[in-house]
Chain A
Amino acid sequence: MTAVASTIPPSWYLLLASAVFCVGLFGVLTRRSALYFLMSVELMMNAANINFVAFALYYGDLTGQVFALFVIALAAAEVAIGIGIILVLYRNFGTTDVTVPAEMRW
């Protein structure tokens, strides 16, 4: 355990990550625009990254930090796909409001 990690208890990292995760989840549940949805999901994934980086430091192994890099790349890929789908959504429905498309019943 390094000096920095020993000064801040790991529970604080968990609290921070959980708070960021909950902000993201709140955004997912309340926002109607698909673009806000994407941003909120990014927040949730970055909350996980906080955990990975913080506990990689805590345990003194690099796995978590390296995986955080993977997650950043995957999140970017997911946004690219998401923007593409939102684009065809806009072309077909003229809006990015996720509640508007209702061709099929839920």
Chain B
Amino acid sequence: MVNGLPAVTALLPALLFAATGLTLLLVDTIRPDARSNTSMAVVGAIGSLAALAASVWLTASGAVNPDSGAVLLFADAIKVDTMALFFTAIFASVTALVLVAAHDYFHDHDNPAAFYSLVTFAATGMAILAVANSLAVVFVALEMVSLPSYVLVAYLKQNRGSVEAGLKYFLVGALSSAIFLFGISLVYAATGSLILSDIASASIEGLTGVLGVGIVMMIGGVAFKTASVPFHFWAPEAYEGAPAPVSAFLSSASKAAGFVVAFRVFTEAFPIEMAVAANIDWMLAFAILAAVTMTLGNFAAAVQEEVKRMLAYSSIGHAGYALIGVAALTVDGPANGTVMGAAMAHLLVYGFMNTGAFLFVAMAERWGVGRTFADYAGLWRRAPVASVAMAVFMFSLAGLPPFAGFFSKYFLFQAAIDNGFLWLAGLGAINSVVSLYYYSRVVKALFLDDPASPSALDAIDVRPTALYAAVVFAAVATVLLLPGFGPVIETAEAAASALF
């Protein structure tokens, strides 16, 4: 660390999240009658923005960067590097947007404080997950993310859809975390260590098979968190049934948290050379998962009738794109750092555009218009600003040229081609074309279609200011990432290259 600050300063983002969550919980416990939805939301949003500022400051000040080396804490169990801070910035941005939007979504809920503190606790887990350098920390942090998430999905406890979604998310989540844990135990059995770099340097005497099974089981845990095949089937249910701000949180921040595990654990604990030499080709496994995930997600999204469910499948499709970041790696590949960096940049852009899209759905739920494409017909006439923002999200998710989503996908596919994975990039491009179909259906409904009846839009009689602000801010960020994409991709590539 520079400036004579104690090394633990590098954990500032995670500490800020934890302090915010505890403050909210404390105030709610001591003064349950005096709590106000607005002040809770403001405190939560300020805490998240402070965490965002802290991670940007730590990156920009050079306190933690690839040249000066990462900050190692707690007997190497924690490693703060640029990649961790990059992901923390994604988590903090999404958390802030979700908390602001939740202010209007839960305006008549009797206990919003629990919601705000659960979201910040989950964000704390994500921030710790990003810096985890030991499989023990990875598992503890993963549970810190998962446990509040189960509750958040089932948060509307009188609503059968929400409870069912929470149950299914919990069942699949508990199963996959048990599988992930057993995978960790097998890796420990084969290598005798839980610290990532020690696992990489351990000599494996005749236990290669055990290590291989362990790695496959850990891939299962990652697939659950990122909503990829074969553990993707909870996602449409959970995203559809959950309150829309929670869907936004899970599909953007929680998914990125799964990817930080994939990026760091697999490249550091099981280096590519060792994996190929021991015949444990996890890159191939990820390549197959990426191909199946993006194809399944996009084609299933194309046949949906409900906007929220379409977004859920589209989120599975985007997990497939981001998986290219761990799939298109080769021994001494010239573009190993570039492809992983591009996947990180895609996750950042995705964090804004996908959160924005789900928050638009949250606004539609708040208005009480229906859930299908047809119910969105003609919304433009009553909500022009939000509809334009939604169009920006849709075109950016589809990867049309003038938007940030195009650049992140372009860099990702280009880097994959540079590393010799033309088939994966080609499949991604084909899938993007398919995705244009269902994304433009939303835009068509909003702008071109006529409402089913002249009175159909009368439901829109409230102006949820905070939700509006969150949606518009996400749209502005999606557009501003266009000129600002240079620094983002440079930071991401430098951070990813440090792993190889």
On A, residues with C-beta under 8 Å from B are 10, 13-14, 17, 21, 24, 28, 34, 37-38, 41, 44-45, 47-49, 51-52, 54-55, 58-59, 61, 63-64, 67, 70-71, 74, 77-78, 81-82, 84-86, 88-89, 91-93, 98, 101-104, 106
Q: Does B157 contact A (CB under 8 A)?
A: yes
Check A44–B170 contact: CB distance below 8 A: no
Check A48–B237 contact: CB distance below 8 A: no
Q: Which of B59-67, B159-167, B417-425 contacts A (4 or more CB under 8 A)?
A: B159-167
Check A59–B192 contact: CB distance below 8 A: yes
> Shortest Cβ distance from A87 into chain B, in angstroms?
9
Q: Does B136 contact A (CB under 8 A)?
A: yes
Check A89–B136 contact: CB distance below 8 A: no
Q: Does B473 contact A (CB under 8 A)?
A: no
| Residues in B whose Cβ lies below 8 Å from that of A89 | 163-164, 167
Give B135's nearest chain A residue, CB to CB.
A67
- A48 vs B189: C-alpha distance when bound (angstroms): 10
B178 touches which of A10, A48, A63 (Cβ 8 Å): A48
Q: Does B188 contact A (CB under 8 A)?
A: yes
Check A44–B178 contact: CB distance below 8 A: yes
- A51 vs B175: C-alpha distance when bound (angstroms): 18
- Supply 4 further A-B pairs (C-beta < 8 A) apart from A85-B150, A89-B163, A92-B163: A37-B174, A38-B174, A51-B185, A67-B188
Check A44–B179 contact: CB distance below 8 A: yes
Check A55–B189 contact: CB distance below 8 A: yes
Q: Does B158 contact A (CB under 8 A)?
A: yes
- A91 vs B175: C-alpha distance when bound (angstroms): 24
Give B170's nearest chain A residue, CB to CB.
A85
Check B175–A104 contact: CB distance below 8 A: no
Binary A-proximity of B240-274 (CB < 8 A = 1, otherwise 0): 11000000000000000000000000000000000
Check B241–A48 contact: CB distance below 8 A: no
| Residues in A whose Cβ lies below 8 Å from that of B140 | 70, 74
Check A81–B189 contact: CB distance below 8 A: no
> Shortest Cβ distance from A69 into chain B, in angstroms?
11
- A78 vs B147: C-alpha distance when bound (angstroms): 7
On B, residues with C-beta under 8 Å from A are 136, 139-140, 143, 147, 150-151, 154, 157-158, 160-161, 163-168, 170-171, 174-175, 177-179, 181-182, 184-186, 188-189, 192-194, 210, 233, 236-237, 240-241
| Residues in B whose Cβ lies below 8 Å from that of A104 | 161, 164-165, 236-237, 240-241
Check A81–B182 contact: CB distance below 8 A: no
- A18 vs B147: C-alpha distance when bound (angstroms): 26
- A45 vs B183: C-alpha distance when bound (angstroms): 11
- A61 vs B194: C-alpha distance when bound (angstroms): 11
Check A51–B178 contact: CB distance below 8 A: no
Task: Given the known inter-chain contacts A64-B188, A85-B166, please indicate yes or no for A45 contacting B181, CB distance below 8 A.
Answer: yes
> Shortest Cβ distance from A95 into chain B, in angstroms?
11
Give B150's nearest chain A residue, CB to CB.
A81
- A47 vs B180: C-alpha distance when bound (angstroms): 12
Check B160–A101 contact: CB distance below 8 A: yes
Check A63–B136 contact: CB distance below 8 A: yes
Give B148's nearest chain A residue, CB to CB.
A81
Check A55–B167 contact: CB distance below 8 A: no
> Shortest Cβ distance from B188 into chain A, in angstroms?
6
> Shortest Cβ distance from A10 into chain B, in angstroms?
7
- A74 vs B178: C-alpha distance when bound (angstroms): 11
Check B161–A88 contact: CB distance below 8 A: no
- A38 vs B177: C-alpha distance when bound (angstroms): 13
> Shortest Cβ distance from A32 into chain B, in angstroms?
11
> Shortest Cβ distance from B120 into chain A, in angstroms?
17
| Residues in A whose Cβ lies below 8 Å from that of B164 | 89, 93, 101-104
Among the interface residues A10, A24, A59, A86, which one has the most CB atoms of the partner chain B within 10 A? Answer: A59
| Residues in B whose Cβ lies below 8 Å from that of A103 | 160-161, 164, 241
- A102 vs B163: C-alpha distance when bound (angstroms): 11
> Shortest Cβ distance from A59 into chain B, in angstroms?
4
| Residues in B whose Cβ lies below 8 Å from that of A71 | 139, 181
> Shortest Cβ distance from A47 into chain B, in angstroms?
6
- A28 vs B241: C-alpha distance when bound (angstroms): 23
